[in-house]
Amino acid sequence: MAIQLGQIAPDFEQDTTHGPIRFYDWLGSSWGMLVSGPKQFTRSAATDLTEMAKLRDEWERFGVKPIGLSADDVETDQPQQPRLADRQKAAYPPIITDNDAKVSKLYGAVYVENDPAVSSRSIFVIDPTKQVRHIATYPASAAESVFTEILGAIERLQQADAFDPVI
């Protein structure tokens, strides 16, 4: 079953390109953005990684920790990041190794049942209480930046919380 708005985001332990994490510990008291999608280094995945990296200052301004979710393993993802980061002049966020589909099943990410190279991608915005506050799903063929839209949603959620905190 897919995670829904207002539910508590599932916790998990998994390897990433920055080392093993326990998701809740990694998030701490920050907002989080979990971006699932096709295998890395497809057109849409490369676009997502590049845009997430370029918006690093904006994520920091809103207290958001972005993290990717890949059907590939760390050995596939890790060697590519320095090359791409150098070319794009940006530091990439961690990417969760999900070749066992453990995390994607927890979140009901779309690509679990499909070919990971051609499936949709999903973005889960999680607040400091670990509640899922925003979900967006896009087809893999929509390889344009969606993160300006996500930043706007996060800004509106945080503004609303300042006046009427979520319980």
Work out the pLDDT band at 7, boundaries 50, 70, 90.
very high
Lowest mean pLDDT across 1-5, 64-68, 88-92, 142-146: 88-92
Residue 128 lies in a domain: yes
Residue 144 included in any domain: yes
Distances (CA, A) of 9 to 31, 78, 122, 125, 130: 12, 26, 14, 9, 6
Residues in the chain: 167
CB 44 within 8 A of CB 142: yes
Q: How many CB atoms lie within 10 A of CB 119?
A: 22
* Whether pLDDT at 89 is above 50: no
pTM for this prediction: 0.83
Grade residue 111 by pLDDT with cuts at 50, 70 and 90: low
Q: Quick one: DSSP state of residue 138?
A: E
Structural domain of residue 63, as residue ranges?
13-163
Mean pLDDT in residue range 22-38: 91
Least Cα distance to 108 among 95, 123, 97 occurs for 123
Residue 7 domain flag: no
Percentage of the chain exceeding pLDDT 90: 37
Contacts of 92 (CB under 8 A, 6+ apart): 17, 49, 52, 53, 68, 81, 84, 85
CATH of the domain at 66: 3.40.30.10
**Is the residue at 112 inside a domain?**
yes
Q: What tens digit of pLDDT does each residue of 34-73 get?
A: 988 765 545 556 667 778 888 889 999 999 999 988 876 6
Is a pLDDT exceeding 90 seen at residue 87? no
Count of structural domains, the chain: 1
**Is residue 130 over pLDDT 70?**
yes
Task: Tell me what pLDDT residue 121 has.
Answer: 77
- What strand order describes the sheet that includes 64-70? 95-97, 64-70, 31-36, 121-126, 132-138
CB atoms near residue 160 (< 10 Å) = 12
For residue 5, is it within any domain?
no
139 Cβ neighbours under 8 A, 6+ residues apart: 120, 121
Residue 116: inside a domain, yes or no?
yes
Look at 20 and 44; give whichever has higher pLDDT: 20
- Looking at residue 146, its pLDDT comes to 81
In a domain, 131, yes or no: yes
Query: SS3 for 64?
Result: strand
Q: Which of 114, 78, 79, 82 has its CA nearest to residue 95?
A: 78
Percentage of the chain beyond pLDDT 70 is 69
Q: What gap in Å lies between CA 20 and CA 150, rounded to an integer?
A: 26
Across residues 121-134, what is the average pLDDT? 94
Residue 8 lies in a domain: no
